[in-house]
Structure 1
């Protein structure tokens, strides 16, 4: 996102991260500005190209139940490796980083067997020297899809999707703040029925509308990844970390570490403060951190077709 974001802009981004369909009246009350001023600010944030409001769809909708994170050490430059890894179908997210790891990536597959095949394809990319993997058991916080455990069939155990639902989801993942009239038009439903369907999809956890801030060379913010190991139960530590405003993503699982997360803040001082808070939490044994430099692939589930 371009520069010149002030404290009010940051509060709006965080509020939209929590609820991308929040009304301008609600947002205005939150930041203490007039509705018209608040709307203008949100539209400016969207217009600058760094902020997108999208419907993040639970991976179970795509038949994806095995997710995980990979950190990659390379022989030579990271860029060519990152670009080749990003071309793999199993890979949903790739960044280049500063630190021990040159590249980080996320994989999403149907099951453990296909996940293993995806890892093998990553390992086979020329220039990959070594990789470390953590498979997710729970998503605590992530702008790309609703939080919660990843057990199959997820929210689909409580809701059956039809063609109208798929049409709504397809449009929401492109435009999370689409009006109910627009959603009615693309789904073939009345505005009232579209509203009821969207609320059902949101409440069930099939979709979450939130704010995505793209990592670009022009980004004002700083994004740092971290891996942590904990003593004992991971859940109490994860809850405390996820509650921190500057934590953008957090997943826990099994593998080379107990959890993987991302800190996004407007200054390096704020990143350091958050990192120190994580390090100081009871139960945290070790924390390793790296700086995300550039996102090579950020499309995640938007790049996949909806299941028929």
Structure 2
């Protein structure tokens, strides 16, 4: 995002992360500004190109039930490796990083067997020296994913999606704040029916509308990844970490570590302070951190067709 965010901007981004369709009246009350001023701020954040409000669709809609994180060590430059990893269909997210790991990636597949095949394809990319994997059991916080356990069959067990639902999801994926009138026009529904459909999709966890800030060389937001292990039960620690405002993503699972997360903040001092709070939580045994430099591929860059 171009330029530095002030405190009000950061509060708006966090509020939109929680509810990307929050009204300007609600946002204005939150930050203590007039509705017109708040609307202008949000439009400025959107207009600068760093902030997008998108619909994060549950992977189960695409038949994807196995998710996991991979950290990659390389022989030589990271860029060529990251670009080739990003071309793999199983990969939904790739960044280059500073630290022990040159590249990080996320994989989303239908099942464990296809996840293993995806890992093998990553390992076969020229320049990959070693990789470490954590398979997710629960998403605690993520701008791309409705929070909750990765259970099978997930939210689709209790809801049937028809052509109108898929049209709504496709549009919300690109523009999370599209008006109900606009959504009605792409589905053939009335605005009232479109509103009811969207609320159902949100309430059942099929989609989450949130704020997405792209990681670009022009970004003034600092982004740090971290892996942690805990003593005993992971859940109490994960709840405390996810409650921190600067935590952008957090998932727990099994593998080389117990949890993977991301810190996003407007200054390095805030990044350090958050990292220290994580390190100081009771039950946290080890924390390893790295700096994300550039996003090579993000989930919303994927042109996956919605299921018919």
Counterpart for residue 10 of structure 1: 10
| Count of residue correspondences | 308
CA contact (8 A) 1:59 1:301 kept: no
CA displacement, residues 194-244 of structure 1 (integer Å, 9 cap, x when unaligned): 000000000010000000000000101100000000111111110000000
Structure 1 CA distance for aligned equivalents of residues 193 and 301 of structure 2: 26
Which consecutive unaligned segments of at least 5 residues does structure 2 have?
Answer: none
Structure 1 CA distance for aligned equivalents of residues 167 and 249 of structure 2: 28
Structure 2 CA distance for aligned equivalents of residues 193 and 59 of structure 1: 25
Structure 1 CA distance for aligned equivalents of residues 300 and 114 of structure 2: 17
CA contact (8 A) 2:94 2:105 kept: yes
Deviates more, 1:3-12 or 1:215-224: 3-12
CA contact (8 A) 2:249 2:263 kept: yes
Deviates more, 1:151-160 or 1:80-89: 151-160
CA displacement, residues 128-171 of structure 1 (integer Å, 9 cap, x when unaligned): 00000000000000000100011111111111111110010000
Deviates more, 1:112-121 or 1:147-156: 147-156
CA displacement, residues 167-196 of structure 1 (integer Å, 9 cap, x when unaligned): 100000000000000000101101110000
CA displacement, residues 44-103 of structure 1 (integer Å, 9 cap, x when unaligned): 000000000000001111100000000000000000000000000000000000000000
CA contact (8 A) 1:95 1:294 kept: yes
Name the CA shift for 1:161/1:252 in 2 (closer, same or farther; >3 Å): same
CA contact (8 A) 2:4 2:266 kept: no
Shift of 1:301: 7.6
Which consecutive unaligned segments of at least 5 residues does structure 1 have?
Answer: none
Shift of 1:303: 3.0
CA contact (8 A) 1:57 1:301 kept: no
Shift of 1:302: 4.7
Shift of 1:307: 1.1
CA contact (8 A) 1:97 1:294 kept: yes
Shift of 1:304: 1.7
- Runs of 4+ in structure 1 off by over 2 angstroms are 299-303
Shift of 1:300: 4.5
Structure 2 CA distance for aligned equivalents of residues 4 and 258 of structure 1: 33
CA contact (8 A) 2:173 2:300 kept: no
CA contact (8 A) 2:97 2:290 kept: yes
Question: Structure 2-normalised TM-score?
Answer: 0.99
Structure 1 CA distance for aligned equivalents of residues 305 and 121 of structure 2: 22
Name the CA shift for 1:176/1:213 in 2 (closer, same or farther; >3 Å): same
Shift of 1:298: 1.0
